[in-house]
Amino acid sequence: MNWLVIASGSDNDKLNKAKDFLLSKTGEDPNVILISENLDLEELQKNFRTVQKTTHCIVIGASSVFSSSDCIFLMGFLMGSQANLLIYDKKDDHLFEKLRDGRTLGFNSFTDFDTLLKFIDEKFNDFEQIELERNSLISLFTMGIPFTADSFAHYLEKELQDVCQMFINAGMPVNAKTSEGVPMLNIATRAEHMDQVEWLIGLGADVNSISGDRGYTAVMDAVWRKNYALTEYYISKGAGLNVVSSDGQPILVLAVGNGDEKIVKLLLDNGADPDLPDSMGMSARKYAGLFKKAAIVEIMEKYPPKEK
């Protein structure tokens, strides 16, 4: 954030109070523009360069500011650039009423200076988040990267963490899905990027979200990829183990089809139902016997069918 304070020479106490407050919040001295009746061209150009960089501005004494044509020009630029304006004036006159009416355009107006500072203190984290989103979007656009879920998925597959973080910082939902309906967690799982999976889960990704292409949850994709570590990780995060895919396959049927004995045992140990039927009425237990997977049949014998 780039903070600016605009004040007149008669408001030194409030100016110093604002500077000290912003220094305590940001760790940096804010830029300051002091109002004078006649600014020379060099001073006006200097002030304009300052205003160009401004994202948040405290105006102390709206009546004085708007009595200067030069300051009106600078304020107009701030409004046009959608800087966050926080305007103080002890007079609640007609001009100030107009400023108050402009809140939807980014104005917040106050007749008590301490209330203005309290407002900033309460909203400061929101200001930082909005600024982070804005700067991240600008960075992505500058790099020629579209802000879309498909683009986010592409960079997850490439495991380019810095770019992926920009997407999240810019406001991309962690549970966003591609145009084919694939959640980001499934994208990272299919690419077998454990670090990306842990990162997404840490951000709040839904471990049981279902993909629109196969109807798989992330743990089903992990089983499909024969990735024991990812499967174990998802189980530890509460992944459901009796979900049926869009083509009618339970997770244990996938594991039996892959012939992965370790994953079959892991799933059984954590509550996967070996007798859950697929769309053809066949279960993982039946497939293991049909395809003579002796080792898996032996494992399943330890998990007898439940009484119905």
DSSP at 250: B
**CA distance linking residue 247 with residue 245, whole number of Å:** 5
For residue 114 the two structure tokens come to: 């301490």
Question: What is the distance between the alpha carbons of residues 137 and 174, in angstroms, rounded to a whole number?
Answer: 16
Q: Which of 96, 14, 90, 25 is nearest to 58 (CA)?
A: 14
Give me the phi and psi of 28, to 5 degrees please: -135, 150
Q: Where are the alpha helices (H) located in 106-183, listed in sequence order?
A: 113-142, 149-158, 161-169
126 Ramachandran zone, left/alpha/beta (phi>0; psi -120 to 50): alpha
- Burial (0-12, 13-18, 19+ Cβ within 10 Å), 283: buried
pLDDT value at residue 103: 45
Count of residues in the chain: 308
Distance CA 266, CA 232 (A): 7
What are the strands of the beta sheet with 31-35, ordered from one edge? Answer: 31-35, 3-8, 56-60, 84-88, 107-110
49: tokens are: 């360069």
CA distance 61 to 111: 10
pLDDT at residue 167, as a whole number: 98
Contacts of 222 (CB under 8 A, 6+ apart): 189, 230, 231, 233, 234
In which element (H, E) is residue 6 found?
Answer: strand 3-8
Nearest to 246 by CA among 223, 274, 213: 213
pTM of the model: 0.80
pLDDT in tens, the chain (308 residues): 899 998 876 678 999 999 999 999 999 999 998 876 566 667 767 878 888 889 999 999 877 777 777 677 777 888 888 888 898 987 655 455 554 444 444 578 888 999 999 999 999 999 999 999 999 999 999 999 999 999 999 999 999 999 999 999 999 999 999 999 999 999 999 999 999 999 999 999 999 999 999 999 999 999 999 999 999 999 999 999 998 998 899 999 999 999 999 999 999 999 999 999 999 999 999 999 999 999 999 999 999 887 65
CA distance 110 to 58: 11
Q: Could you tell me if 138 and 115 are in contact, meaning their C-beta atoms sit under 8 angstroms apart?
A: no
Amino acid 298 reads E
304: left (phi over 0), alpha (psi -120 to 50) or beta: beta
Q: How far apart are CA 171 and CA 103, in angstroms?
A: 24
User: Cα 27–32–36 angle (5° rounding)?
Assistant: 170
* Short-list 282, 283, 278, CA closest to 268: 283
> Residue 33 belongs to what H/E stretch?
strand 31-35
The distance between the two most distant Cα atoms of the chain, rounded to a whole number of Å, is: 94
Here the tokens at position 22 are 């912003």
Q: Beta-carbon neighbour count of residue 164 at 10 Å?
A: 22
**Cα–Cα dist 58/40, whole Å:** 23
